[in-house]
Amino acid sequence: MFSLARPHRDDVLLAVTGLSGGVILWLIGIHIQNGRLFDAPWVSLLPLVVMSALELLRRSAPLTALAVGTLALVADQFTVGSLATLLLFTDLVYAAVLYSTPAASRRIPVITLLVTVATTVGFIAWAPSADAVLIGIVVGMVSFGPALTGAGVRNHRDAAEAARLRADQTALLAEMDRAQAVTAERSRMARELHDMVANHLSAIAIHSTAALSIDDPGTSREALGVIRQNSVDGLAEMRRLIGLLRESGAAGPPSAAPTLASLDDLVGQAGANSASSGLTVTLDDAREESRPLPAPVELAAYRIVQESLTNALKHAAPGPVAVRLERSRAVLTVEVSSVLGDRPGPRAPGSGAGLVGMRERVALLGGSIEAGPGPRGDGTKIWLVRAELPVEERTYRT
């Protein structure tokens, strides 16, 4: 397809050089043929001028330049000929393979090969001699040789472009993976931070409100004791989290991470925090202690119990808060139930992030969780959190 794009400066240089060289050869009387139909030397300049002008189109319209150049080369055979015209034609063949469409670049080498073979066979059949073979070699050098060279250069260029695109795609995928990893790590840190401090801060908020609203020295002293204990424990948890963030190169789970072996202490602390609210916290651990659990399952179960107890402290009506653990062959079941209803006394505000965090933890382990109201056996309405966590060793998402 013909294009009016401005010629590349290299193409202009080729055109000027080719035309100048051809004129110099004409001036000194160097020609490549004799006894032609148009034997006046100046006639050979016409194909030379046409071929030089076509060099300006070698990039923008390579197929058009090759077609017209072929006609100019045929016309040059009826003159005394010019070596510059022949060399310029070889460049047009090369450019047509390099800059044309992929389909044309595949066809041109095949066509030039067939032309070379046909010309050689034809001249040998017409006049068997060494000259006939020489003519075939010249045709191959003028047509098939440049086409084959252009195909090789184009293949290398396309391979380099494909490699560059693959490198760009790899860099893009790496950036996407990095962004996803950062987002996942931020979510994990947010869950850990919430689960670590929400329980302690909720207890502090409830007991500080009670100390301010009840004018009784004994109640205030008891509330201050609970506030101090939760403050100390919360600071310890925060120091542990900061230590985890600083130990970026540490391998394996940190030894300070809470496990289900610490549930007795957690339940005891929750009972002390919620005693003034009329809550009694109990733990029923029906697991087989001899069968260890994967560290991610231990941590997730601990955090689910911790968050459920925090929610009970903030929202549950006076009554029992039951924590139950049970393990089948492949599933650890965690249940926390509390009485559903209006509770007296101070309450701590909630944001809903706790339930979201529990669901995220369970989803990362490939388990299931349900949280919502339901009846108990005696007809009392309760709030039940029930999570089922797979306990088989696997590669967990983080």
Q: Give, as one character, the DSSP assignment of residue 385.
A: E
Closest CA to 307 of 257, 345, 266, 279: 266
pLDDT score for 373: 86
Residue range 251-295, pLDDT digits in tens: 444 445 678 888 888 888 888 777 777 788 888 888 766 567 888
Residues 6+ apart with CB under 8 A from 6: none
The tokens describing 21, both together, are: 């060289």
Residue range 253-263, pLDDT digits in tens: 444 567 888 88
Closest CA to 12 of 42, 57, 63: 57
Q: CA separation (Å) from 107 to 56, 63, 146, 161, 391?
A: 23, 12, 14, 22, 63
Residue range 384-394, pLDDT digits in tens: 899 999 987 65
pLDDT score for 154: 93
Buried b (16+ CB within 10 A) or exposed e, 233-268: bbeebeebbeebeeeeeeeeeeeeebebeebeebbe
pLDDT beneath 70: ranges in the chain:
1-5, 194-200, 202, 206-207, 209-215, 219, 244-257, 288-291, 342-353, 377-379, 393-398
Give rounded-to-5 percent helix, strand, coil for the chain. Answer: 65, 10, 25
pLDDT score for 1: 45
